[in-house]
Amino acid sequence: MKVVFRGVEHGEAMLVIDAQRYSREERRHFINGASAKAVFGSGVYLVSNPEVAAHYAICHAETTWDKAAVLQQKLLVSRLFVLDRQYGENELRRDALAARHTNQELVGLQEKMTYQEWLEWTGGEVRSFLLDKGYQGIQYEISPELTYYICYQSDSCITDIALYAILDLQSFE
């Protein structure tokens, strides 16, 4: 188990703490037109660093005119696929697409999609590829100070969700 963090708006944080589960995943489109990209497919995106989570919380809060909240939780990491500097995002995407499609299929699909559609579709393909192999998500070490965690099956991997911090954006003005 690892202690990890997620930044969200305050209203969502209170719902998550009460339910002890996430009802929304990362691929989100906000009222103001902003969107959170989910390059590894739909899932709950978490980080090892509470300061980084606070930055995400502020972004979420600004789009909903709410306070920002950082949630702390425990994450079961034993069934996460590990990415690092030797085998990272590009290698995983390449292998996932190659396992599921021919090169000719991929070229045809890419020609028909916008960049955003391609990004979302390939993220979904990575997600399906890893789930088919029995993984519940990804552990991606960006640096010694920061690891991203993507959880595809949050109900079985995330426990003990608690409030770590609240940031009132008005106090920053």
Q: Name residues whose C-beta falls within 8 Å of residue 114's C-beta, 6 or more positions apart in sequence.
A: none
What ranges do the domains of the chain cover? 2-172
Work out the average pLDDT over 28-57.
79
For the chain, what is the mean pLDDT? 90
81 has pLDDT over 90: yes
User: H-type helices in the chain, by residue range?
Assistant: 10-19, 50-64, 89-100, 103-112, 115-132, 154-157
Instruction: Give the C-alpha separation, 44 to 155, whole Å.
Output: 10
Beta bridge partner(s), residue 9: 68
Instruction: Give the C-alpha separation, 81 to 150, whole Å.
Output: 9
Characterize the bridge pairing of strands 158-167 and 68-75.
antiparallel
Top-confidence residue, 144 or 61: 144
Please report the pLDDT score of residue 36 as a whole number: 57
Q: Percentage of the chain with pLDDT > 70?
A: 90
Beta bridge partner(s), residue 6: 71
What are the backbone angles phi and psi of residue 130, rounded to the nearest 5°? -70, -40
Instruction: Give the C-alpha separation, 42 to 141, whole Å.
Output: 19
Please report the pLDDT score of residue 171 as a whole number: 55
Instruction: Give the C-alpha separation, 36 to 121, whole Å.
Output: 15
Work out the average pLDDT over 89-115.
95
Instruction: Give the C-alpha separation, 89 to 93, whole Å.
Output: 6
CATH, domain range 2-172: 3.90.175
pTM over 0.75: yes
Please report the pLDDT score of residue 27 as a whole number: 45
